[in-house]
Amino acid sequence: MSLQSWGMYPLVENEVIKFSSEKELQEKLDTADELVAYGNGRSYGDSALADTLVHTKPYDYFLDFDVTNGILEVQAGVLLSEILEGVVKHGWFLKITPGTKLITVGGAIASDIHGKNHHIEGCFSECVQEFTLMLADGKIVTVKKDEELFLATCGGMGLTGVILTAKLSLKKINSQFINQTTIKTRNLKETFAAFEEYKHLPYSVAWVDCLAKDENIGKSLLMVGEFADDGDLRYKPKSKLNIPFNFPSFALNTLSVKAFNWLYYWKSQDGVSKQRVHFDSFFYPLDSIRNWNRIYGKNGFTQYQFILPKESSFDGLERILDKISQSGKGSFLAVLKLYGKKNENYLSFPIEGYSLALDFKIEKGLFELLDELDAIVVECGGRIYLTKDVRVSKETFEQGYEKIETFRKFRKENNMSEKFNSLQSKRLGL
């Protein structure tokens, strides 16, 4: 059995190591050469791909839950969706959550994931009190905040060891619903103004029509919200649609993306509208469709996600959106978010500014376009998100992460670089 990434690119053969106890993993780690941990396969690129993978998803027990104080301890293979099923009814929620709840806790730490509230709450590492990690020699250590191993592991893409357990602090809520406000904007200037006007609210995200041109570049639907206070905590996950097969590659093209973008934008009311929505719809809209990655066809897709410093975000995004629009290689999933200050972790992605994430099917000319976008990102002082990446050059990556040499030195000095490696780490010399 070979495990693949969510982007279905590249397709590789690998040996899969499973374990049910720490001792079993120690024994298998001792005899294996290079490897990397693999959770639920929701990383888009090659960050969790290697010749040998440690499959952590089956390592998924709940260990302890302090219902009064909202402190949860779990094994690394537990999914965020499983946490929500267990804690929402008690009035708790994840402090930080990405756009999918179908990732493991170990993966959330390794990617130091972020969500719609980064401008207020920061990254996932903010809610991690401590975790246990198996090192290259099989030793198990408990890692706490501000330790160097914490700084290297949170956002370190599994390259410091295998995360085994984690203790997390949760967020108190009193409803399973979100009071959502949608602001329809006509261009990037209006979109930025709306982000700033509503930045006091805990959650914000914008869908951007990345094929819009000229005076309409950056037209968006900005959705902001906060949890309601109606006492309704009777959470039950809804049934899902399923994409049973890979779509033919020609199904997703400029015309179909334009049609989707037009319909999605114009069905929304002009100006400002309010509604109450379920948190699943607000945070995890795509999780309602099982195997949605198949719409991109058998060749797969990649998500291109970059972030720019706040002072260069407007000009940089305008240039990038213009280049994408001119290329015709549009994405109907184009997500813009506002970010707060960066943390001290060596390879965590967020910096204060704006991030744009776009999904592109793998096709001729795509990587050349992304190389052009890379140049703008670097010129603007931005960086690329490792969890989504499958092709950025070592030179481009290094210019965005000022602590890369500190990370490399730490890995080498602690004998991590000989044991823990992915296709991505080799490509970028991590």
Q: Where are the domains of the chain?
A: 177-395
Q: Which pLDDT does position 172 carry in this prediction?
A: 98
pLDDT in tens, 37-74: 999 999 999 999 999 999 999 999 999 999 999 999 99
Count the alpha carbons within 13 Å of 423 in the hemisphere toward its beta carbon: 25
Average pLDDT, the chain: 95
pLDDT digits (tens, 9 = 90+) for 295-307: 999 999 999 999 9
Angle at which helices 310-327 and 366-379 cross, to 10°: 160
Residue-level pLDDT at 255: 77
Give the per-residue pLDDT at 39.
98
The least confident of 118-127, 205-214, 249-258, 344-353 is: 249-258
**Where would I find the H helices in 79-147?**
80-87, 105-111, 118-121
In this prediction, residue 267 carries a pLDDT of: 80
Using a pLDDT cut of 90, give the percent of the chain over it: 88
Closest to 125 measured CA to CA, from 152, 99, 102, 101: 152
Which H or E run contains 338? strand 334-339
What pLDDT score does 80 carry? 98
- CA distances to 59, 93, 407 from 165, rounded to whole Å, are 9, 19, 23
Going 340 to 342 to 347 to 353, the CA torsion angle's sign is: positive
pLDDT in tens, 359-375: 999 999 999 999 999 99
Q: Which CATH architecture has domain 177-395?
A: 2-Layer Sandwich (3.30)
Rounded to an integer, the average pLDDT of 197-212 is: 95
In this structure, are strands 289-290 and 203-208 parallel, antiparallel, or unpaired? unpaired
Task: Check: CB of residue 24 under 8 Å from CB of residue 142.
Answer: no
Whether this model's pTM surpasses 0.85 = yes
pLDDT, tens digit (0-9, with 9 covering 90-100), for 331-358:
778 999 999 999 999 999 999 999 999 9
* Percentage of the chain exceeding pLDDT 70: 99
Flag whether pLDDT at 139 surpasses 80: yes
The residue assigned the tokens 């390592």 is 59
Q: What is the pLDDT of residue 256?
A: 76
